[in-house]
Amino acid sequence: MRQQIVAGNWKMNKTLEEGVELTKAILDKINQPKGLVVVAPPLTHLQEIGRLLSTKKSFHLSAQNCHQEEKGAYTGEVSADMLVSVGCSFVILGHSERRQYFKESNATLAAKVNISLAKGLRPIFCCGEPLNIRETETHVAYVAKQLKASLFHLSETEFRKVVIAYEPIWAIGTGKTASSLQAQEMHKSIRDLVAKKYGKAVANDTTILYGGSCNAQNAAELFAQPDVDGGLIGGASLKADDFAVIVGALK
């Protein structure tokens, strides 16, 4: 069954003390959400934030990344096992910032998806196009290539554990947002692509989040689209009031 999810990606923001205060405020303001609420704080905060989230139903802890190898001499990296050991149930993979700044390839992301699933983590797999691709109207093919290269080797059972997050890169942190119709168009194309690979039943059960400058003002309109199942929220997740409004917009 398709799940409604709002995931907050804090990125490299908030000290531990600030993160604890934010989490307490979020928990205080959000009661009985219609779907799952996922919080992805910095790595240093995971254990403490996870303890707080575990006190309330429907709240889950996520990491912002993990390494593709199980363990070894990878200074500064974190493994899937480590994330599970501090209470993570989700991990964000393939965010456009990881692709751009850390040169993560589709092949690397496929390996990260594999290790995450093997260790019991649910990947929130990000895909999306830059502005030049959108302007040349090749965005559907561009996103399809990302998904095929990093996810379509999975079995049906494995794929059912993946959450997809469509993030138009030109709308991340820019204040620009894809219109609700543009978001719906891409989400439907993704669902249709999944249906061709895994069948309509799997496609209908796949959660597809929108992740491009979603905020308290536009969340309800975006989430009202039939193929938009929630959001991967950046800046707005750092404000408890705004994040609560976004969670409240779930269908």
The mean of the pLDDT values for the chain is 96
- Give whole-number Cα distances, 43 to 9, 50, 83, 120, in Å: 12, 11, 9, 18
Choice among 45, 95, 139, 187 that is catalytic: 95
End-to-end CA distance of the chain: 14
Categorize the per-residue pLDDT at 212 as very low, low, confident or very high, splitting at 50, 70 and 90: confident
Predicted confidence (pLDDT) at residue 209 exceeds the cutoff of 90? yes
Return phi, psi of residue 13, to 5°: -135, 150
Predicted confidence (pLDDT) at residue 118 exceeds the cutoff of 90? yes
Q: Tell me the C-alpha distance between 11 and 75, whole Å.
A: 20
Percent of the chain past pLDDT 90, that is, above it, reads 91
State mean pLDDT over 105-132: 97
Categorize the per-residue pLDDT at 176 as very low, low, confident or very high, splitting at 50, 70 and 90: confident
Residue 194: the pLDDT is: 98
Let me know if 167 is a catalytic residue: yes
| Domain architecture of the chain: domains with CATH | 5-248 (3.20.20.70)
Q: What is the CA radius of gyration of the chain?
A: 17
Residue 135: the pLDDT is: 86
Residue 178: the pLDDT is: 78
pLDDT digit string (tens) for 62-104? Answer: 999 999 999 999 999 999 999 999 999 999 999 999 999 999 9
Of 68-72, 112-116, 175-179, 206-210, where does mean pLDDT reach its minimum? 175-179
Return phi, psi of residue 193, to 5°: -65, -45
3-state secondary structure of 70: coil
State mean pLDDT over 37-45: 98
Q: Which residue in this structure is represented by tokens 């996810």?
A: 151
The model carries a pTM of 0.97
Identify the H or E element spanning 170.
Answer: none
Q: Which residue in this structure is represented by tokens 């964000």?
A: 92
Categorize the per-residue pLDDT at 147 as very low, low, confident or very high, splitting at 50, 70 and 90: very high
Residue 18: the pLDDT is: 98
Let me know if 95 is a catalytic residue: yes
Q: Which residue in this structure is represented by tokens 């409240």?
A: 248
Choice among 97, 104, 129, 167 that is catalytic: 167
- Give whole-number Cα distances, 11 to 54, 182, 223, 235, in Å: 21, 25, 23, 9
Predicted confidence (pLDDT) at residue 174 exceeds the cutoff of 80? no
Of 149-153, 171-175, 246-250, where does mean pLDDT reach its minimum? 171-175
